[in-house]
């Protein structure tokens, strides 16, 4: 009897092999990452699809809605959630306990998302492993107290230029204070970290400020859209070309400065084999050029990073503080009285900054609302959070600082501008790790003391001379405002204020 066996075509065989290979791969993945699968299965989170995971929830992310997308995620999955971004496993959390466990562990690696910062600069912020350790060891001594003291003259000088230049706006119908503040923080950073007075305020380098802001915003959009377009697709959108153009404009300044500084050192015979005594950041870097540990291009990248990270963050915080003081005149009046009582001969002195307790409370409350909303770490060693939870190596942790900083467990009035959150009594009673605008652990922001000192000085010097106001009304809840993401939260409506002479 003839048996009729259907004949398989080559295409059928190929399909069977392909499906078989995918099934074997999926089973192997499940087995290899079984601890990760088991943790993620126990956590709430959006349903993952094959290959794309739950990335679909971030479809359509643009710079205008990036913050609201993350806000919605945090609202839908509060506390600790799981997220598959394609085949990459993530814990997304605002839990103080998880933050503390991760930051106090040996995990110092950042997640793969930071690779996109390398579009701008191949330097410490996005560096991994041994390279990061090497660079961090150069940076840390440049922020010690004995070095920070070298910056006093520069703070006085640039602060005075800033306050003087605001005069042109007195009695006007309002202006956006961001660019003037940013030019001032650029001047301070260049002077203090890179040893060069570029006078960005006197020869207003508005293009430098806007190019830096726009490039930083585009990179954040790409980092956090979580739809990882391959480079060629990104280039097809024309965005890559635009970013390169903006970066070129901003990098001219650090490039020129580094080249000039190298020449100066050579002429003055300052070439040294080892650092001696306190020295500013650029000289610590150039010592490594002399020893052959760093190249000139690498040093330019490092300098560029400091230039951006140090100037944008402090400018945004200062500008927010001015906007908030304009929105809340009672808070402004109390700060003004404190500053007036503690200044001598109508001047704010850096040595008196520690007496400005209320002013510092205002800055901290500003950072609570508008500081960096999100950061992440790649877990290289298991993190034991408590008896019930271990985050296995191989996972990414998205840390939602904005949610932590608004958690009603730690903040009496989460959505309000309420500097009392930082009264000495409230600070004392708050548990460790509930407020970390500069993050923590080995990768804590190295510029934190520099930032607090420069911001306190500039805000106090400004309030002493001018009264700020605005036509805007304070929102019921500051979380309802529209933001864009540029390292920190940047208001879509800008930083418009009016000023009057005191």
Residues engaged in binding ligand HEM (CB under 6 A): 124-125, 136, 189, 193, 305-306, 309-310, 313-314, 317, 367, 371-372, 375, 437-439, 443, 445-447, 450-451
Report the half-sphere exposure of 251 (CA within 13 A, side-chain side): 19
Please give the biggest Cα pair distance in the chain.
115
Q: How far is the CB of 441 from ligand HEM (least distance, A)?
A: 9
Q: Which helix (H) or strand (E) holds 275?
A: none
How do the residues of the chain divide into helix, strand and coil, expressed in percent and rounded to 5? 60, 10, 30
Using the Cα atoms of residue 435, residue 438, residue 444 and residue 446 in order, give the sign of their dihedral.
negative
- Which residue in the shown chain puts its C-beta closest to ligand HEM? 447
The rounded distance, in Å, linking the Cα atoms of 181 and 497 is: 13
Binding residues: 445
Task: Kindly tell me which of 368 and 498 has the beta carbon lying closer to ligand HEM.
Answer: 368
Binding residues for heme: 445
334 in Cβ contact with 358 (< 8 Å): yes
The rounded distance, in Å, linking the Cα atoms of 80 and 130 is: 30
Can you read off the two tokens belonging to residue 236? 């097809």
Task: Kindly tell me which of 46 and 159 has the beta carbon lying closer to ligand HEM.
Answer: 159
Among 359, 370, 357, 363, smallest CA distance to 425 is for 357
Can you read off the two tokens belonging to residue 231? 């480079």
Task: Kindly tell me which of 129 and 172 has the beta carbon lying closer to ligand HEM.
Answer: 129
Task: Kindly tell me which of 56 and 438 has the beta carbon lying closer to ligand HEM.
Answer: 438
DSSP state of 46: P
Task: Kindly tell me which of 131 and 427 has the beta carbon lying closer to ligand HEM.
Answer: 131
321 in Cβ contact with 462 (< 8 Å): no
Q: Is 364 exposed, middle or buried (0-12, 13-18, 19+ CB in 10 A)?
A: middle
Q: Is 189 exposed, middle or buried (0-12, 13-18, 19+ CB in 10 A)?
A: buried
Task: Kindly tell me which of 447 and 491 has the beta carbon lying closer to ligand HEM.
Answer: 447
Task: Kindly tell me which of 146 and 267 has the beta carbon lying closer to ligand HEM.
Answer: 146
Q: How far is the CB of 407 from ligand HEM (least distance, A)?
A: 17
Task: Kindly tell me which of 193 and 326 has the beta carbon lying closer to ligand HEM.
Answer: 193
The rounded distance, in Å, linking the Cα atoms of 379 and 364 is: 29
Residue position matching structure tokens 């600069």: 121
380 in Cβ contact with 393 (< 8 Å): yes
Q: How far is the CB of 14 from ligand HEM (least distance, A)?
A: 45
Q: Is 152 exposed, middle or buried (0-12, 13-18, 19+ CB in 10 A)?
A: middle
Q: How far is the CB of 72 from ligand HEM (least distance, A)?
A: 22
Alpha carbon 335 to chain centroid, angstroms: 27
In angstroms, the Cα distances linking 324 to 302, 399, 481 are 33, 26, 13
Task: Kindly tell me which of 301 and 314 has the beta carbon lying closer to ligand HEM.
Answer: 314
Q: How far is the CB of 111 from ligand HEM (least distance, A)?
A: 9
Q: How far is the CB of 264 from ligand HEM (least distance, A)?
A: 22
Residue position matching structure tokens 């293009």: 207
Pairing of the two strands 483-486 and 488-491: antiparallel
Q: How far is the CB of 365 from ligand HEM (least distance, A)?
A: 13
Task: Kindly tell me which of 48 and 459 has the beta carbon lying closer to ligand HEM.
Answer: 459
280 in Cβ contact with 147 (< 8 Å): yes
Q: How far is the CB of 148 from ligand HEM (least distance, A)?
A: 11
Q: How far is the CB of 119 from ligand HEM (least distance, A)?
A: 16
Among 227, 174, 231, smallest CA distance to 52 is for 227
- The string over 448-476, giving b where at least 16 C-beta atoms fall within 10 Å of a residue's C-beta and e elsewhere, is eebbbbbbbbbbbbbbbbbbbbbeeeeee
Task: Kindly tell me which of 53 and 447 has the beta carbon lying closer to ligand HEM.
Answer: 447
């Amino acid at each position: 009897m003839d048996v009729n066996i259907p004949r398989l075509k080559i295409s059928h065989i190929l399909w069977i092999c392909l499906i078989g290979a995918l099934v074997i791969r999926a089973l192997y993945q499940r087995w290899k990452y079984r601890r990760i699968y088991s943790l993620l299965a126990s956590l709430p989170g959006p349903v993952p699809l094959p290959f794309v995971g739950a990335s679909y929830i971030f479809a359509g992310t643009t710079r205008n809605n990036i913050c609201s997308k993350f806000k919605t995620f945090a609202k839908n999955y509060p506390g600790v959630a799981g997220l598959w971004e394609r085949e990459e496993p993530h814990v997304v959390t605002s839990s103080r306990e998880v933050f503390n466990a991760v930051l106090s562990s040996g995990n110092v690696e950042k997640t793969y998302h930071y690779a996109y910062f390398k579009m701008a600069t191949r330097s410490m912020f996005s560096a991994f492993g041994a390279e990061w350790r090497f660079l961090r060891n150069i940076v840390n001594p440049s922020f010690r107290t004995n070095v920070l003291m070298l910056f006093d003259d520069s703070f006085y000088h640039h602060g005075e230029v800033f306050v003087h230049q605001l005069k042109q706006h007195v009695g006007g119908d309002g202006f956006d204070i961001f660019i003037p503040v940013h030019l001032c923080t650029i001047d301070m950073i260049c002077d203090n970290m890179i040893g060069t007075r570029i006078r960005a305020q006197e020869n207003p380098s508005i293009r430098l400020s806007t190019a830096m802001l726009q490039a930083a915003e585009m990179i954040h959009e790409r980092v956090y859209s979580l739809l990882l377009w391959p480079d060629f697709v990104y280039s097809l959108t024309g965005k890559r070309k635009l970013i390169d153009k903006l970066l070129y404009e901003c990098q001219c300044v650090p490039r020129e400065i580094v080249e000039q500084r190298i020449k100066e050192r050579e002429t003055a015979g300052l070439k040294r084999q080892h650092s001696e005594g306190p020295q500013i950041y650029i000289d610590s870097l150039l010592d490594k050029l002399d020893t052959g540990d760093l190249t000139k291009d690498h040093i330019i990248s490092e300098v560029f990073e400091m230039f951006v990270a140090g100037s944008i963050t402090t400018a945004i915080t200062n500008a927010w503080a001015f906007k908030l003081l304009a929105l809340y005149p009672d808070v402004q009046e109390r700060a003004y009285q404190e500053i007036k009582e503690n200044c001598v001969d109508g001047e704010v002195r850096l040595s008196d900054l520690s007496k400005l307790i209320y002013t510092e409370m205002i800055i901290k409350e500003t950072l609570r609302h508008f500081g960096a909303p999100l950061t992440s770490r790649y877990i290289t060693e298991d993190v034991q959070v408590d008896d019930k939870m271990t985050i296995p190596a191989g996972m990414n942790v998205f840390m939602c600082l904005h949610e932590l900083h608004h958690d009603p467990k730690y903040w009496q009035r989460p959505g309000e501008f309420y500097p009392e959150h930082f009264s000495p009594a409230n600070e004392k009673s708050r548990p460790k790790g509930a407020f970390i605008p500069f993050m923590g652990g080995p990768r804590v922001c190295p510029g934190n003391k520099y930032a607090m000192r420069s911001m306190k000085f500039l805000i106090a010097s400004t309030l002493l001379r001018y009264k700020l106001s605005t036509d805007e009304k304070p929102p019921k809840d500051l979380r309802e405002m529209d933001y864009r993401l540029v390292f920190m939260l940047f208001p879509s409506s800008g930083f418009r204020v009016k000023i009057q002479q005191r």
